[in-house]
């Protein structure tokens, strides 16, 4: 399983970040899962550059630019230089600040060009009885992958994060059967966009109020390949419990 710890802006000092890194390294040694940390940009180099463990690192976002006179921007190349191997693209919190399907597509291309594995986030604001949210998910995925080559499309990881489930308890969030249906639907979309059997090989993660409670059920009953973890990833006890709960 691929477990991506998105620290967001919860971690604001290096001491706390290093403590969480120690926990992640221990989990990487004692479990079979791949642990990926996504720290805030200013802390990235201090953690990732000296890293010699099985823990991997991801950018929380990358710039739509490729360098130059762009004050405050962090490009894909910068992240690749300081040790990132993944990049979270199109997270719901970035989309809420104005990121579009088109800008997400541009960022995917930049990430791939610099050897980063993109984690494309998709998810609906709410569910309707008519099923219009399915068309919304289709558009998010197809627009993001439209300009990529078949080979590039095969390198994308999909993270399904239903926005309506964020901030809820595990019991209030998505049911395993509903998640299983969405994973099948996402793979159906990918089958239309990727050649051969690549759609079945694409990793699909779940993010949306991920907690230790309920994680096992989501894993075994839905067909997901891992989790994109938010707030729980910055609590050593909660994150350890979550990782150990997963098969």
Q: Which of 99, 124, 140, 161 is catalytic?
A: 161
Q: Is there a catalytic annotation at residue 161?
A: yes
Residues 42 and 55 sit within 8 Å (Cβ to Cβ): no
Report CA-CA distances (Å) from 26 to 30, 226, 245.
6, 18, 15
Q: Which of 91, 99, 124, 211 is catalytic?
A: 91
Q: What is the H or E stretch that residue 93 is in?
A: helix 92-95
Q: Is there a catalytic annotation at residue 217?
A: no
- Tokens standing for residue 95: 């989309």
Nearest partner of 141 among 198, 192, 97, judged by Cα = 192
Report CA-CA distances (Å) from 57 to 123, 132, 201.
23, 35, 22
Residues 120 and 153 sit within 8 Å (Cβ to Cβ): no
Q: Which residues of 123-154 are buried (b: 16+ CB within 10 A; e: fewer)?
A: bbeeeeeeeebbeebbebbeebbeebeeebbb
Catalytic residues: 91, 161
């Amino acid at each position: 399983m691929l477990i991506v710890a998105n620290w967001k802006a919860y971690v604001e000092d290096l001491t706390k970040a290093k403590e969480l890194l120690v926990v992640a390294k221990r989990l990487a040694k004692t479990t079979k899962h791949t642990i990926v940390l996504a720290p805030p940009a200013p802390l990235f180099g201090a953690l990732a550059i000296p890293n010699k463990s099985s823990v991997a690192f991801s950018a929380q976002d990358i710039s739509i630019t490729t360098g130059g006179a762009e004050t405050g921007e962090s490009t894909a190349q910068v992240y690749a230089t300081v040790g990132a191997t993944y990049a979270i693209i199109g997270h719901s919190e970035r989309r809420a600040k104005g990121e579009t399907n088109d800008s997400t597509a541009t960022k995917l291309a930049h990430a791939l060009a610099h050897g980063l594995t993109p984690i494309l986030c998709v998810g609906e604001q709410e569910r309707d009885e008519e099923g219009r949210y399915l068309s919304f998910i289709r558009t998010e995925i197809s627009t993001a992958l439209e300009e990529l080559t078949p080979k590039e499309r095969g390198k994308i990881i999909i993270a399904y994060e239903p926005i309506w489930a964020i901030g809820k308890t595990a019991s209030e969030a998505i049911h395993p059967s509903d998640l299983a249906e969405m994973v099948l639907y996402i793979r159906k979309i990918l089958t239309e966009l990727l050649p051969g059997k690549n759609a079945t090989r694409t990793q699909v993660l779940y993010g949306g109020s991920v907690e230790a409670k309920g994680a096992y059920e989501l894993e075994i009953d839905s067909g997901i390949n891992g989790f994109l973890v938010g707030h729980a990833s910055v609590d050593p006890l909660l994150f350890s419990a979550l990782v150990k709960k997963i098969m």
